[in-house]
Amino acid sequence: MALHAALRTRLDQTIEVWPYAGTNLAGGKLFSSSAAVMYMAREEAKQHEVVDPQGKRVLARGRIFVGPTSTGGAPSVSVTDRLFPPGSTTPLPLLAVETLRDRVGVHHQVVSHG
What is the predicted pLDDT for the residue at 2? 59
What pTM did the predictor assign? 0.91
Among 18-22, 60-64, 70-74, 84-88, name the one with the lowest average pLDDT.
70-74
Number of domains in the chain: 1
Read off the pLDDT of residues 5-56 as tens digits, 9 standing for 90 and up. Answer: 777 789 999 999 999 999 999 999 999 999 999 999 999 999 999 999 999 9
Largest CA distance in the chain: 47
DSSP 34: G
Work out the burial of residue 81: count CB atoms within 10 Å of its CB; fewer than 13 is exposed, 13-18 middle, 19 or more buried.
Answer: buried
Give the integer Cα–Cα distance in Å for 100 and 91.
Answer: 23
Domain around 91: 5-113
Looking up residue 25, the CATH number of its domain turns out to be: 2.40.10
Q: DSSP label at 75?
A: P
